[in-house]
Chains A and B, each alone.
Chain A
Amino acid sequence: MSHHCLRTSVFSGLLGLSLALVPVAARADDTKDAKKQASATPKPAGMVVAKDPVTGKLRAPTAEEAAELNQQKAKTAPHTAVTRKLQTVKGPHGAVGVVLDDSSAVYAVATKTPDGKVTTKEVNGATLAKKPVQQGKANEK
């Protein structure tokens, strides 16, 4: 029984994987797929310049300025559920599939407490995974 999956790329990968995978030669199809997903990681769009607060001249942003800009962009970005375009997959017999991006991934995050114990929690996506876990402390008030 043969089934043909038609993958239709109808979007530009606004929320593609944020983790770059090292290209590997001679891999299984699954790995090629991973590389393809990695290649869909969004690139900065447009030129970004900063206005020097001292000279008033335009220049390339420093790393700190770029990071701050990215944070602001993230805060003002419309909700992902509304804005993301879906990469669909046509399965057999009318099945409709969607490729999930990293925002759907559930990450385990561990934090070490002052007494050396390890606690974990789960967060969504690579961005949230970077946030530290809030921990209760023995001397909490």
Chain B
Amino acid sequence: MRSSAAVLLLALAPLAVQAAATITIVNGDPAGKGFNDPRPVDPVGGNPGNTLGQQRQNAFQAAADKWGATLNSPVPIRVLATWDSLSCTSTTAVLGSASATEIFRDFKTAPKTGTWYNKALANALEGVDLDPRTADIRARFNVNLGNPGCFDGTSFYLGLDGNHGLNVDLVTVLTHEFGHGMGFQTFTDGASGAQFDGFPSIWDYFLLDTTSGLTWNQMTDDQRAASAQKNGKLVWNGTNVNTAAMNQLWWGTPSLQVSQPDSVAGSYSVGTASFGPTLANPGVFAEVATFVDTDPGLALACNPLSRANATAVAGKIALVDRGVCTFVTKAAYLQAAEALGIIVADNVAGSPPPGLGGDDPTILIPVVRITQNDGAALKAAIAGGNGSVLATLGVYPYQLQGADINSNVLMYAPSPYSGGSSISHFDISAFPNLLMEPNISDDLTHEVTPPQDLTYMLLKDIGWPQN
């Protein structure tokens, strides 16, 4: 059994890799627990530890080494880490957290005055530890994960090779959470718009609302709170991120492009379906039509279409309403009526429009979901009688996946606001998937730099010294 003091000494020893920043994991666990758990285990996925505690330590150090080899700081970065009993049930579990312990403003070398910087970044810029008594990042992870009653049977994968199978890849989660601790987060409250103690975070200078042309540091609290829910309109205005994105994110964004009438012309966000054909370029170009003999909101398509409705949607893109029956049921009836494509208008408020679940290999026409508001706008245009509503349902080739039409990378700004996910993450539309989306994808590597990832580019934008 390795004593906690010995592990601590190991953690404080210089890293073996040639690091641009030294990151140490400070073991805060008591003897016999967490990092000091003496239970024997077999080496796994390149992790040579032969006790559970050693393997946990190795996984933490692997994530720390990745950041240490990437960032540039003359001041050692300390991560105070413990394994704790965090909340969990058999199907839902808090995995863990790593966040800045302190923030600083108005230090001597601060690029912007009156602006909050997370401690690790402030230290790197200042060249000294602004509070040597306190670690820079506080990390807690769930010691019970995989035990009965706590995500039963699904554990942290402690290997270093990413082959996590159905388990949770600890190194990926750590790399993500350490990213927050390094500064990938605003300290402004996105729900209320209130700045922390009345000062903006450095993050806020790069958060641009394209509907107003203002960055968050230029807004009132109310403007920020509204901006936080402008899905598709809140972008990162940093040169490093947006330049790298041009060569990293894939071109071609699933969308509904309405070309006329002018009152509704534009690009609409869509949620794609897990069934039917993949949206294509060129897409399906046709008139958008809805039912003609139902009350508003009740174009449900849960039964074979009436003759009038079938005639209305045949050879067109059918606009119908969510509700009552499954999405594949609607699709089957509309396909039978010879619709060329399907738009399902959501029946609850919220943005972005979620995807459509279901499975039916007989569906051969494209199906998407749009928001309730967008659905109402298109229905009004159809009812208005000012000419046909013409649209293309497919992939818009001139837009990066995860960026707006001007190739500014989108930030996650759903409606309603989602505390902890909104604002301080890249948007979930990014593809290939990015480390700092609010959901951790299965296909992520452990990389934080292009061409695999944009996280380091963002940290450079907010001021991390060049490597």
Contacts and interface: CB of A to CB of B under 8 A. Distances in A.
Interface of A: 1, 3, 5, 7, 19, 21-24, 26-31, 33-34, 79-82, 86, 89, 91-100, 104-112, 116-126, 128-130, 132-133, 136-141
Contact of A29 (B93, B133, B322, B325): B133
A110 to B, nearest CB: 5
B194 interface: yes
B140 interface: yes
A140 B344 CA distance: 13
Interface residues of B, number: 86
Contact of B107 (A91, A122, A123): A91
Contact of A139 (B101, B119, B323, B326): B326
Interface in B77-135: 78, 80, 82, 84, 86-87, 89-97, 99-108, 110, 116, 119, 122, 126, 128-135
B104 A5 contact: no
Contacts of B95: 107-110, 120
A103 to B, nearest CB: 9
Contact of B322 (A30, A98, A141): A141
B375 to A, nearest CB: 16
Contacts of B105: 95-97
B166 A30 contact: no
Contacts of B177: 106, 108
B419 interface: yes
Contact of A100 (B101, B173, B322): B101
Contact of A95 (B86, B96, B104, B173): B104
Contacts of A121: 418, 420-421, 438-439
At the interface, is chain A mostly helix, strand, loop or mixed? mixed
B439 A119 contact: yes
A118 B182 CA distance: 26
Given A30-B26, A106-B185, 6 more contacts: A28-B8, A79-B189, A107-B97, A121-B420, A122-B420, A140-B327
B196 interface: yes
B43 interface: no
A43 B345 CA distance: 49
B219 interface: no
Interface in B1-16: 4-5, 8, 12
A132 B89 CA distance: 9
A139 B421 contact: no
Contact of B357 (A1, A19, A23, A139): A139
Interface of B: 4-5, 8, 12, 26, 28-31, 33, 78, 80, 82, 84, 86-87, 89-97, 99-108, 110, 116, 119, 122, 126, 128-135, 138, 140, 151, 154, 166, 168, 173, 176-177, 180, 185, 187, 189, 192, 194, 196-197, 274, 322-327, 354-355, 357-359, 418-421, 424-425, 438-440
B138 A109 contact: no
B71 to A, nearest CB: 19
A7 B132 CA distance: 11
A31 B100 contact: no
- Most B CB atoms within 10 A — which of A24, A30, A117, A132? A30
A117 B168 CA distance: 10
B102 A89 contact: yes
Contacts of A26: 5
A19 B84 contact: yes
A3 B28 contact: no
Contacts of A123: 418-421
Contact of B87 (A7, A79, A130): A130
Nearest to A123: B420
A116 B167 CA distance: 10
Nearest to A3: B128
A140 B271 CA distance: 14
A109 B26 contact: no
B357 A138 contact: yes
